[in-house]
Amino acid sequence: MLKLNVNGKVHQVDVEPDMPLLWVLRDTIGYTGTKYGCGVGACGACTVHLNGVPVRACQTPVSSAIGHQVVTVEGLRDHVARAVQAAWEKLDVVQCGYCQSGQIMSAVALLSHNRAPTDADIDNAMSGNICRCDTYSRIRAAIHEAAKNLA
């Protein structure tokens, strides 16, 4: 049994230590907001926060998350996250929506340490997150909008 702290709650999970955090979250615990997109860390759909830092859950063995705070899209609570989600809603960013959990996790992580990101900062922080519906312009605008509201 491994003890995993997800969204402030400790879960006991009986899985192999090399199982990627993504599948423990999705299949073992049931947090399905974190998505599978590629399994090789190339698309960002599985982005979660590990001690506040964005990581690709598909590339994170569950063993390396033990003793740390994992936050998924379902566990977003703070004012930065609320500002990001409000901006996403105001600008109607989503289309198919499948990548958006990961986009939001990356955006929240960016704004948590940079309250006034430039377009270049956004490119740096967000270019690991693919959106095949190409909602990028609205994601960029929503990050600026959230930053404005957090200022």
Partner 1 sequence: MDDIRIENENRREFIKAGLGLTLGLYLAPRLAFSGTPGGVHAGTVLEPNAFVRIGTDNTVTVISKHLEMGEGTYTGLSTLVAEELDAAWAQVRVEGAPADVTRYANLFLGAQLTGGSSAIANSFEQMRRAGATARAMLVSAAAQRWQVPVDSITVHQGVVTHAHSGRHATFGELAEAASRLPVPDNVALKDPKQFEYIGKRFPRKDTHDKINGSAIYTQDVKLPNMLVAVVAHPPLFGARLKSFDAQRAKAIRGVVDVVAIPTGVAVLAPDFWSAKKGRDALSVEWDESDAFRLSTSEIFAQYRELAGKPGALARNDGNAEQAIAQAAKRLEAEYEFPYLAHASMEPLNCVVRLGADGCEIWNGEQSQTGDQHAVAAVLGIKPEQVKIKMLYAGGSYGRRANPHSDYVVEAVQIAKAIQGRAPVKMVWTREDDMRAGYYRPMYLHRIAGGLDGQGNLVAWQQRIVGQSIMSGTAMEPRMVKNGIDATSVEGAHNLPYAVPNIAVDLHSPRLQVPVQWWRSVGSSHTAYSTETFLDEAAYAAGRDPVEFRRALLNKHPRHLGVLELVARKSGWGQPLAPGKAGEKRGRGVALHKSFNTYVAQVAEVTVRPGGRYSVDRVVCAVDCGVAVNPDVIHAQMEGGIGFGLSAALYGQITLHDGQVEQSSFPDYPVVRMNEMPRVEVYIVESQEKPTGVGEPGVPPIAPAVANALFAATGQRLRKLPLRLA
Tokens of 115: 């309250």
Q: Do 118 and 124 contact (CB within 8 A), yes or no?
A: no
Residue 130 is a binding residue for partner 1 (CB under 8 A)? yes
**Binding piece for partner 1, criterion CB under 8 A, among 49-57, 63-71, 109-117, 135-143:** 135-143
Core vs surface per residue 4-24: b (16+ CB within 10 A) or e = bebbeeebebebeeebbbbbb
Local structure of 45: helix, strand or coil: coil
Asked if 131 is part of the footprint of partner 1 (rule: CB under 8 A), the reply reads yes
Q: Are residues 125 and 117 in contact, defined by beta-carbon separation less than 8 angstroms?
A: yes
Residues in contact with partner 1, shown as a per-residue x/- string from 23 to 62 under the rule CB under 8 A:
x--xxx-xxxxxxxxxxx-xx-x-----------------
**Closest CA relative to residue 7, chosen from 41, 63, 61, 50:** 50
Query: Is residue 99 close enough to count as binding partner 1 by CB under 8 A?
Result: yes
121 binds partner 1 (CB under 8 A): no
**Shortest distance (Å) from residue 137 CB to partner 1:** 6
Which residues here bind partner 1, judged by CB under 8 A? 16, 19-20, 23, 26-28, 30-40, 42-43, 45, 72-74, 76, 85, 88-89, 92-101, 104, 122-123, 126-140
